[in-house]
Amino acid sequence: MLKNCTCYQHWMGHINPKRFIMAYVAVFVWLVASSMFIDHICLMDSYKMTPDLWRPMADIQANIWWMLLAYFLIAKTVVYIFTRGYEGKGWREGARYGLLIGFLVGVLSAMNYVWLPIAGQLAIYWFVGSVFMFVVAGILTACIYKPKK
């Protein structure tokens, strides 16, 4: 019934479900893993310089499901947008796409410098980390996703 709906055909009719899910899962796992690595290993010393700004680790762990939900939605959206503009140009297409998404997310992350008392260096790290995360996410998506035949 839903598949015969005009809006479903417009928004979802072009998607290869198996490849979409594979790309979505890969991007979700990558975003969670790279975020954990960047925040908990690479940037932990920067966060320790402003301890009053951040939630205690116990609170973060208790609310981790919010982060997982956010990455679930981000991964799904990133892969979906890619499918709408799919050109079939391989990993380079994914890298370009990821660079655009990474710049968008990176600028939004770095803007926190305006209202949070953090070092400018941390804002730059957030920007660079976001670009890196999404370039790889774009490459993963381009390498995994193929449209319906």
Range of the domain at 114: 17-144
> Is there a domain that residue 113 lies in?
yes
In this predicted structure, the answer to whether residue 142 has a pLDDT above a threshold of 60 is yes
pLDDT, position 2: 56
The residue type of 1 is M
pLDDT, position 11: 57
> Is there a domain that residue 149 lies in?
no
Burial annotation 107-131 (CB, 10 A radius, 16+ → b, else e):
eebbeebeeeebeeebbebbbebbb
> Is there a domain that residue 7 lies in?
no
> Is there a domain that residue 4 lies in?
no
> Is there a domain that residue 111 lies in?
yes
pTM: 0.88
- Domains held by the chain: number: 1
Kindly state the DSSP code that residue 51 receives in the 8-state scheme.
G
Q: What is the mean pLDDT of residues 23-46?
A: 97
102, 131 Cβ separation under 8 angstroms: yes
Residue 81 has which token pair?
A: 């947008």
